[in-house]
A and B are shown apart, each in its own frame.
Chain A
């Protein structure tokens, strides 16, 4: 068995050497290693070491050149941005136009919005971790759930069920939305991505963009282009008082709590369950995972399913907050969630959660905090620009996101 695995790794070894364009002498080395493996003399575990030796040598060279003019200029740009931000913040606070309650409100709004971003971001990050691809169509997976859920919700509402049994009613809508999103995510993987598993990286990206358009306009064609308003749930209207005279909307509480529960559930699933561990293994190295007896195709399907279901749930939370569905509604949250995933360190589940929150709060807080002091009119028009500047800033100082890419050694 061991011998077989080693044999199968031999071509991979030569591929690596070919890629690094090493001299034939090295190639001989590889071949001799492969034949040793064939003879059962070498262990397949030695192969990663080969890889690392070559890579390590290059890394060392990189490190020695690290502190160069570019690094300095990058840091300079970063520091200039930081200084402007600090100056704006100081000016705003010095003006004292806003009370503490205002600032608390802004943070709460940000947290609610951020938890939705976090849930969507998980789908991006899970898929990215495993396939190294940006699943652009994930925003449509997010849109499809609440869209189909809308039809269920309105019929429940017309029957009066939603007012009588809001919890059960909401659970039904949630279930339908999650199932819809899950189905679309899995179909997407099966039809559009699986045949391209070994294609160059950009090819599945384009497929994803195409699938995204296709899904958007399919929904538009099937269900119309109008805005559909979700029914309101009586019990969720109004606010609950929070300490210090600040009130928090009931919907926001529900959204934040639900998001936390789901995030915790996912964390448990990935860290503790067998499937979750298999997912980690696959994201580490598909080939090795397959050699370990993991059904890679199955795990990838599971990943898409989990990401899809979470997106569907995020969609329902989103409509709890904003109560509108529309065929184009996935696009902006999708981009934001992807930004959040990168912000936190893509491929990193905890990072996606953190990234979502940071982005949500930044969008809500920063335009007022930073731009107001600089005297820029209508600062909320620029909130997306600000979010992206924050992203650049963080990536300048931490090139792999806040928490770092879990698989930093691997090349994206």
Chain B
């Protein structure tokens, strides 16, 4: 971002900094154990594993940084220096790994770092072993990679983009294939095919796209097709997704349930600005009411309804719970609200778990034998059929959200979010507006919980922990606060994507955490930001320019 003036032709500091930083990251990756685990998965069997790919990333990043910064001076430096820069950065990254090998040779690091195993050392030296010359392998690899990065950077811009795309698509596809279809990586042939196809294709597209677009736009039929495809394509994709199979549908089911909750929380947090950290409570209430009313195990109620009979009760109970929670927190603001709602979530979980209510709602034993939803001959039993039920739920809720947003109530919520005092001064009834926000949010979560219970056919208190609330909050913020498509995209990103990372089950949350931080630092407005919010963020950037006169503004495309 910031333009660093290169006074001398060669600034030692840049590659050194980049190299050392990347080295630390590489060390962390190695010692945390993810490299070793990922090493069991091939990208191209016998040639490259996911673990090795992972270990390559810091080297590439170091080279990229060093080369880019060297090239960002006012006058472009001679090519020779680019190579030196890249090589030096790669070398330093490797040097840290070599240092680890050296230390590991003398001291048994395993008493502290459990992953500093001989297998790791073997991996770092590419099988040469940490004795003798093998110890220099990381440095040599770094050197080579640095030069490669510098070479790629010299390609013309279009070609460079295509090559990078082609290269990165290989591991992505390999992981995708093993995550979704139990494949075992790509063969060398198919890897080359993917690379050639992707590189060639994107290169061609980058050359042709202007012309193709023009042709389409000039032709009336093309225009119509383009317009149609804008909404017909997503509809088609959504409708046909279950054809991918059982597991992708299962993932989409979870994505859908979280999207339902996300849309609800979006109203509470995104529209009305009331930070709710205990949203799971309503989800739990929906699920438990469904369980209590339908399961043949629960006898004290004397009622055994089917899914559709119990659904309204589940939803209405959740709504009422939303109002009941809403009353005591009416006068609280910001973080007081956050902690009280968090507490409410925990209270619900602890109460359903407790021995006190065990005779009525099962305690730690949970409620089992909850029936599945049935319409006529159709039972929503498989992930594929359930998918349509959940999509239907999402559509209803999304429709309600879309209609609510510009309504009088929706505008009142947004006024509340911006400034409670002013909103009240404008004649907005705070009590009613706030309670309606809580109630609407709770309703959606209750619906999601009810479907969840019938999907699982058994529910346990442990399913309703604090993590669910956090997940939902994260997904609406990652998707873009206040944005309706954002809640769905966020759900795909935070519930769907981690499923692909199940490859690295033990490190799923580690990656999740790092990704959250990275995302917030680089795109705080979310993936699909609400128009108004994007403007606000943009505006603050302009302001910071006004005030400090230093910060540069980058206009997001």
Contact present between A and B (CB < 8 A): yes
Please report A residues at the B interface, Cβ cutoff 8 Å. Answer: 8, 11, 15, 19-21, 55, 57-59, 61-62, 65, 68-71, 73-74, 77-78, 128, 134, 151, 191-192, 195-196, 198-204, 206-207, 209-218, 220-224, 335, 338-339, 342, 346, 376-378, 381-382, 384-385, 387-389, 391-392, 395-396, 399-401, 411-412
A207 engages B353 (CB within 8 Å): no
CB of B540 within 8 A of chain A? yes
Chain B residues with CB below 8 A from A215, complex form: 513
Lowest 10 A-B CB distances belong to which pairs?
A210-B516, A213-B513, A388-B343, A412-B334, A221-B32, A214-B513, A217-B510, A210-B517, A378-B355, A385-B350
Chain B residues with CB below 8 A from A20, complex form: 419, 422
> What are 17 of the A-B contact pairs (CB < 8 Å)?
A58-B425, A61-B424, A70-B431, A191-B517, A199-B524, A202-B477, A206-B520, A207-B521, A210-B512, A217-B513, A218-B32, A221-B115, A222-B31, A377-B355, A377-B356, A388-B346, A411-B334
- Of the listed stretches B302-310, B390-398, B543-551, name the one at the interface; the rest are far from the partner chain: B543-551
Can you add 17 more A-B contacts, CB < 8 Å, to A204-B520, A213-B516? A20-B422, A70-B327, A200-B481, A201-B334, A206-B473, A209-B473, A212-B513, A213-B510, A217-B510, A221-B115, A221-B510, A338-B339, A377-B356, A378-B356, A385-B347, A391-B339, A391-B340
A302 to B464, CA, bound (A): 38
A342 engages B421 (CB within 8 Å): no
A70 engages B330 (CB within 8 Å): yes
A376 to B354, CA, bound (A): 10
A339 to B466, CA, bound (A): 15
CB of B91 within 8 A of chain A? no
Chain B residues with CB below 8 A from A392, complex form: 328, 340, 343-344
Q: Which of A11, A134, A378 contacts B547 (CB 8 A)?
A: A11
Using a CB-CB cutoff of 8 Å, which residues 304-342 of chain B contact chain A? 327-336, 338-340, 342
CB of B181 within 8 A of chain A? no
CB of B33 within 8 A of chain A? yes
Chain B 504-529, CB within 8 Å of chain A: the 1/0 string? 00110110111111011100100000
Given contacts A213-B510, A222-B32, contact A342 B327 (CB under 8 A): no
Interface centre among B343, B431, B509, B515 (most CB of A within 10 A): B343
For the A-B complex, the count of residue pairs with Cβ-Cβ distances under 8 Å equals 199
A196 engages B355 (CB within 8 Å): no
A340 to B416, CA, bound (A): 28
B33 engages A221 (CB within 8 Å): yes
Given contacts A69-B431, A216-B509, contact A378 B354 (CB under 8 A): yes
CB of B470 within 8 A of chain A? yes
Chain A residues with CB below 8 A from B519, complex form: 210
CB of B351 within 8 A of chain A? yes
A78 to B330, CA, bound (A): 13
Question: B340: nearest residue on chain A (CB-CB)?
Answer: A392
CB of B537 within 8 A of chain A? yes
Chain B residues with CB below 8 A from A412, complex form: 333-336
Using a CB-CB cutoff of 8 Å, which residues 219-273 of chain B contact chain A? 269
B327 engages A399 (CB within 8 Å): no
CB of B34 within 8 A of chain A? yes
A400 to B32, CA, bound (A): 43
Chain A residues with CB below 8 A from B473, complex form: 206, 209
A389 engages B425 (CB within 8 Å): no
Report the minimum CB–CB distance from B115 to chain A (whole Å): 7
A68 to B331, CA, bound (A): 12
Given contacts A335-B342, A391-B340, A392-B343, contact A214 B333 (CB under 8 A): no
Given contacts A151-B112, A388-B347, contact A209 B516 (CB under 8 A): yes
A8 engages B547 (CB within 8 Å): yes
Interface residues on B, range: 35 or more
Chain A residues with CB below 8 A from B285, complex form: none
Chain B residues with CB below 8 A from A198, complex form: 540, 544
Please report B residues at the A interface, Cβ cutoff 8 Å. Answer: 28, 31-34, 112-115, 269, 275, 327-336, 338-340, 342-344, 346-347, 350-351, 353-356, 418-419, 421-422, 424-425, 431, 466, 470, 473-474, 477-478, 481, 506-507, 509-510, 512-517, 519-521, 524, 533, 536-537, 540, 543-544, 546-547
Given contacts A128-B335, A202-B269, A204-B520, contact A210 B343 (CB under 8 A): no
Given contacts A11-B547, A338-B339, contact A196 B520 (CB under 8 A): yes
Q: Which of B338, B344, B419, B521 contacts A195 (CB 8 A)?
A: B521
Question: A59: nearest residue on chain B (CB-CB)?
Answer: B421
Report the minimum CB–CB distance from A224 to chain B (whole Å): 4
B343 engages A207 (CB within 8 Å): no
Report the minimum CB–CB distance from B35 to chain A (whole Å): 10
A210 engages B520 (CB within 8 Å): yes
Chain A residues with CB below 8 A from B28, complex form: 218
A214 to B331, CA, bound (A): 35
A77 engages B510 (CB within 8 Å): no
Question: B112: nearest residue on chain A (CB-CB)?
Answer: A151
Chain B residues with CB below 8 A from A378, complex form: 354-356
Q: Which of B115, B418, B509 contacts A213 (CB 8 A)?
A: B509
Given contacts A213-B516, A221-B32, A381-B350, contact A395 B336 (CB under 8 A): yes
A187 to B80, CA, bound (A): 36
Question: B549: nearest residue on chain A (CB-CB)?
Answer: A8
Q: Which of A19, A217, A342 contacts B509 (CB 8 A)?
A: A217
Chain A residues with CB below 8 A from B474, complex form: 206, 209-210
A401 to B513, CA, bound (A): 32
Q: Which of B31, B353, B466 contacts A381 (CB 8 A)?
A: B353
Q: Which of B269, B331, B338, B422 contacts A58 (CB 8 A)?
A: B422
Chain A residues with CB below 8 A from B356, complex form: 376-378, 382
Report the minimum CB–CB distance from A79 to chain B (whole Å): 12
Question: A343: nearest residue on chain B (CB-CB)?
Answer: B339
Interface centre among A15, A395, A411 (most CB of B within 10 A): A395
Chain A residues with CB below 8 A from B533, complex form: 200
Question: B478: nearest residue on chain A (CB-CB)?
Answer: A206
Given contacts A381-B353, A395-B332, contact A342 B114 (CB under 8 A): no
B328 engages A74 (CB within 8 Å): yes
B477 engages A221 (CB within 8 Å): no
Chain B residues with CB below 8 A from A71, complex form: 331
A58 engages B343 (CB within 8 Å): no
Report the minimum CB–CB distance from B554 to chain A (whole Å): 14
Given contacts A20-B422, A200-B537, A221-B33, contact A192 B521 (CB under 8 A): yes
Chain A residues with CB below 8 A from B509, complex form: 213, 216-217
Chain B residues with CB below 8 A from A192, complex form: 517, 521
A224 engages B114 (CB within 8 Å): yes
A206 engages B477 (CB within 8 Å): yes
A411 engages B351 (CB within 8 Å): no
A274 to B175, CA, bound (A): 56
Q: Which of B335, B346, B477, B510 contacts A218 (CB 8 A)?
A: B510
Chain B residues with CB below 8 A from A207, complex form: 516-517, 520-521
